[in-house]
Amino acid sequence: MPSRPPTIPPRKQWTDEQLMALPKDGFKRELLDGEIVMSPAGSEHGRKIMRFSTALGSHVFQHKLGELFDGQTGFRMKSGGLLSPDISFVSKDRLLGLRQAPEGFFEGSPDLAIEFLSRGETRKFIERKVSLYFKNGTRLAWLIDLRREFVLVYHNPTDVRKLTRGDSLHGETVIPGFSIGIDVIFAGLDYQLG
């Protein structure tokens, strides 16, 4: 059974400057209940995130629906936590009037939070994060389980639908018109010599 990701001891309060000054050592860091949680990702995890974000980004940017952020982007929750979904979407309505995204952490939760379950993370750990996303304004969340090849679609922490091979994932009202086959998400490498 996978162990819990390593942690840095809790502090009463972390400033944005202290969090941004933590080492850039390949670990993704998030702040949950005052505790820094770190989790590295393997190459297949990173490859599938890039493939997925390319497909999603193509649709989002072509239709000018908003912006995507990668897993290094921190979202400051109203509750004080700092979460970094593997991929985040923020709608254009929330970006009106801005010339650039904030230099520091984004205030509030993304409209769509996408988490790819990695080996060191448990589903319970991710569901704790999903609950925080919705408490802080997320409208849709997708949990993509790479090992068991299914996607959980959350409309809130208790309204969950499971998609498997043969199904399609849709952006619904959050990313209108976006659709991708579950088979595409879990496609392996297919390179031949010659």
The answer to whether residue 28 is domain-embedded is no
User: What is the Cα–Cα distance from 112 to 134, expressed in whole angstroms?
Assistant: 10
The answer to whether residue 6 is domain-embedded is no
The answer to whether residue 8 is domain-embedded is no
* pLDDT tens per residue across all 194 residues of the chain: 444 445 555 555 655 566 656 555 555 565 566 666 655 566 787 889 999 999 999 999 999 999 999 988 989 888 788 899 999 999 999 998 888 877 788 889 999 999 998 777 777 888 888 999 999 999 999 999 988 999 999 999 999 999 999 999 999 999 999 999 999 999 988 787 76
Q: How far is CA 42 from CA 115, 118, 125, in A?
A: 14, 8, 18
The answer to whether residue 9 is domain-embedded is no
The answer to whether residue 155 is domain-embedded is yes
The answer to whether residue 191 is domain-embedded is no
Q: What is the CATH number of the domain that holds 65?
A: 3.90.1570.10
Number of folded domains that form the chain: 1
Which pTM does this prediction carry? Answer: 0.78
The answer to whether residue 27 is domain-embedded is no
CA neighbor of 28 nearest in space, from 9, 6, 44 = 6
Domain of residue 78 covers: 41-185
